[in-house]
Copies of this chain bind each other. A is one copy, B any other.
């Protein structure tokens, strides 16, 4: 299996980084090939802009998705985007590894999503959800957060974490065709003991060792909708 881990944390010594390192060691130990994009270390540019295209279909008015589509075809898309896209297409499994900022990804990682999941390759027209450009591949998110586990779930103060993560799980990863696995969540990280952190690392390692047998989360399939995308039933 080929694995891409995209990591985004402003502190190089963070526990989130320890999760990344444990994933690399575990997956390589299982014989998989692993690449890591460490966005802060790479000084990744998260801002989608006109500067992402060396030539434009419409130089007077930027429609970002349209220029992505043409930019990939004509190889006029920025080199940093193409480099990440190559890794993305190489990988059978994508792991997004990040601390929860505002119940979602840090801007650094959001900008990787905005720029790298290019229209025309990852999705486009009727190519989304199970028909997405990355169908047949798997993805998961590995997240750290400050909240305690009992603050999430039905009736809990923040509701189910999966509901807060819906734009990334369903609206992004499932949208481009990935089979999306359940998130791996390390709770209350800034406040827990070194032993509790070790427990999370061990649980993560075990989770990664059994990944092949996991069933993905369930999302809509295009066959459930008509040509105009109205529900069939």
Residues of A in contact with B (beta carbons under 8 Å apart): 10-11, 13, 40, 46-50, 61-65, 101-108, 110-111, 113-114, 117, 129, 146, 148, 150-151, 155-159, 163-168, 170-172, 175, 190, 220, 222, 225, 228-231
CB within 8 Å for A113 and B117 given contacts A48-B107, A230-B150: no
Q: What CA separation (Å) do A39 and B47 show in the bound complex?
A: 11
For A105, the chain B residues whose CB sits under 8 A away are 110
Instruction: State whether A13 touches B101 (Cβ < 8 A).
Output: no
A172 contacts across to B, CB distance below 8 A? 102-103
Q: Which residue of B lies closest to A233 (CB)?
A: B155
Complex contact B108–A47 (CB within 8 A): yes
> What is the CA–CA distance of A113 and B150 in the complex, to the nearest angstrom?
25
Pick from B106, B157, B163: contact of A225, CB under 8 Å = B157
Residue of B nearest to A60 (CB): B13
Across the interface, do A164 and B171 meet the contact criterion of CB distance under 8 Å?
yes
Q: Which 4 pairs, one residue from A and one from B, show the smallest C-beta to C-beta distance?
A: A107-B111, A103-B171, A103-B167, A46-B107
